[in-house]
Chain A
Amino acid sequence: MNGVPYRIERSTRAGRVSFVVMLLAVVVLLSVPAWAGRAEMRLLIEVSYYLALAQAWNLLAGYAGLVSVGQQAFVGLGCYGFIVATAFLQVPPLVAIPLTAFIVGLIAIPAAFLAFRLRGAHFAIGTWVLAEVLRLIFTLIKPFGAGTGMSLPIAVVRDIAESRVIREFILYYVSIAIGVGTVLSIFLWLRSRQGLALAAIRDSESAAGSIGINQQRTKLTVYLIAALIAGLVGSLVVVEKLRITPAAAFSVTDWSADVIFIVIIGGIGSVEGPIIGTLIFFALRFLLADYGAWYLITVGTVAIIVMLKAPRGLWGLIGDSFNLHLFPVQRHVRLDPERANRSGPSISRGGKLQGSSEEWAK
């Protein structure tokens, strides 16, 4: 009866500001084909799909505790799946993209069955082995061109659009949709009840289990979603490059190492982190473009240093020091004494939210 009323707030001021900024950014992105050249569009396409992959990996490792070094399995399956759907099954290209992703998601189920038999670091390598198995199989399958790969048939290319300019536009908008869409969907999902469960698992697996969160199912869901996203990216890659080889489709460097570094440097365990990481990654790539292997040496070293000194990445540093949440997924409890007279939810004085030492000591 003497409770202090509270209300739950979802948004923050920074969140509202950045929402406007993001909206503007999306508008700018949508307008790009009107004023930018092909090279810029290609760059943004690449940024989009790395962003999508980074968000997916962040969900896997940062929230579900599943450190996977095998996402390239699903990217590769997306590549070849798209070719199969369009070239062999005559599915229209724009339908093939989501269809392939869906099928890749289905294939992820038996993959998960195998991979989940391992935990922790073993799981990581296990996923890598699975991806390697796929790469080797595709290197041996003659109809897919074996080691030398295959090209997207001209008929399919024309199916996307007759003129190359229109094709570039379509590819661009689809990529942006996937990139922005991934960020948005993940953000909204994390705000949901399931997302809360995921955050609980991230913070403490044992505690989450003890309050009844079905971790296996949640982890499986995350694994499938990540596979689906990777499948989407796979289709994009084929449309962009028009040609794929097993080595490129299932490349651990392109689809795992780079993505992992992006998330580590940007910040694991938050929606903002992978965005920042992707920007930094491409900035570094631009700056060190002429230095060959030094580029990867630098990125790797930065990732190591970040992991040691700032395990929650650049966003962890910034976000923590300024208590910033551009994508607010938290629920804040605001104590509201002015509403004391109105009826509403309240917490009793005895249970403080942040116990002082004396109260906790036995």
Chain B
Amino acid sequence: MYWINTIIQGALVGGLYALFATGLSLMFGVMRIINLAHGDFIVLSAYLAIVVIDGLGVNPLVALAIVAPVMFAFGYVLQRGLLNFTLGGDILRPLLVTFGLSVVIQNALLELFSADSRRLQLPFLEMTSVRIGDQLAIGLMPATVFVVAVVVIGAIEILLYWTDLGRAFRATSDDIDTARLCGVNNRNIYAMATAIALTVVSIAGVLFGIRTIFDPTIGPARLLYAFEVVIIGGLGSLWGTLAGGIILGIAQAIGAAFDPSWDTLAGHIVFLLVLLFRPRGLIPKTFGL
């Protein structure tokens, strides 16, 4: 029973990891940019939530309603005003510019908020558990996170396959020149991709901040998790991303069951194993997004 509990906890966290990965793979799919500041944007969202909570006295979920649009706008401006100018050449420029961004954001957060650990409080969710049978209890918080993750991924899937914008994302991912011949404005489409990616990131960030204590320096670790999920699940498949997240979450949970400090390492090792034996991931799609 203990192990089943562990695996379920891991799977539920996996939903959050899948959310981390969704934003990353959206940007990569459309623009072939790996945003090295991705993890720091997750942390930034959590800090923005703190600002809103401290300023308005609301709870984190309400704060999210403000943080998400702010991150949407920020993503659009960031892409249009900065990252668009790194495109069109080799990978060095977007990689190094986002790396620079990562360092700047971490240190700016350090200056503004100090290195103290913080946490977003949502007592109701955190304290409540749902009992299943006599030996299984699932916390409402982890369950909520998982459900939100599935809903968001489903929403992105609908966006990509049922809307004009999503179709444009997929077409751009395939062939930007021909997409422009259909009327797609490349500068705008890239900015929309980043805007949506950062909106997803903000949701993940607030949920993350409720779940874990955070400080300005833990962004890069989330980037690595997001990346590992993308690789384990396979590039180009959203539901593969969810599967990848679940697998990473379970790996970490099992590692932690042996010794709490082994969680991250267990995840890395599973990642390396997938890299070794199935470098294309467990559920790769053959094309683009």
Contacts and interface: CB of A to CB of B under 8 A. Distances in A.
Direct interface between A and B, CB < 8 A: yes
Interface of A: 61, 65, 67, 69, 114, 117-118, 120-122, 124-126, 128-130, 132-133, 136-137, 139-140, 252-253, 257, 260-261, 264, 268, 292-294, 296-297, 299-301, 303-304, 307-308, 311
Contacts of B90: 65
B52 interface: no
Interface in B26-76: 28, 32-34, 36
29 contacts: A67-B91, A67-B95, A69-B99, A118-B275, A120-B34, A121-B95, A124-B34, A124-B95, A125-B224, A126-B275, A128-B220, A133-B272, A260-B96, A293-B108, A294-B111, A296-B107, A297-B103, A300-B100, A300-B101, A300-B103, A300-B107, A304-B101, A307-B86, A307-B92, A307-B93, A307-B100, A308-B82, A308-B85, A311-B93
Nearest to A121: B34
B224 A303 contact: no
Given A114-B276, A293-B108, A297-B111, A121 B224 contact: no
Interface in B218-274: 220-221, 223-224, 227-228, 231, 259, 261-262, 264-265, 268-269, 271-272
A268 B269 contact: no
B104 interface: yes
Contact of B99 (A118, A122, A260, A296): A260
Contacts, number: 122
B91 A252 contact: no
Contact of A304 (B32, B33, B34, B97): B97
B275 A299 contact: no
Contacts of A125: 34, 36, 223-224, 227
Chain B binding surface, main DSSP class: helix
Contacts of B97: 304, 307-308
Chain A binding surface, main DSSP class: helix
B91 A120 contact: yes
A132 B224 contact: yes
B272 A264 contact: no
Interface residues of B, number: 47
Interface of B: 28, 32-34, 36, 82, 85-86, 89-97, 99-104, 106-108, 110-111, 220-221, 223-224, 227-228, 231, 259, 261-262, 264-265, 268-269, 271-272, 275-276, 279
Nearest to B91: A120
B110 to A, nearest CB: 5
Contacts of B82: 304, 308
A252 B32 CA distance: 24
A137 to B, nearest CB: 7
Most chain B CB neighbours (cut-off 10 Å) among A61, A114, A124, A294: A124
Contacts of A120: 34, 91
Nearest to A146: B261
Given A121-B91, A252-B220, A293 B265 contact: no
Contacts of A130: 272
Nearest to A258: B103
B224 A128 contact: yes
Which 5 pairs of residues, A with B, have the shortest CB-CB distance? Answer: A121-B34, A300-B103, A300-B104, A293-B107, A304-B100
A136 B265 contact: yes
Contacts of A268: 92
A311 B104 contact: no
Given A69-B99, A117-B275, A261-B100, A297 B93 contact: no
Contacts of B95: 67, 121, 124
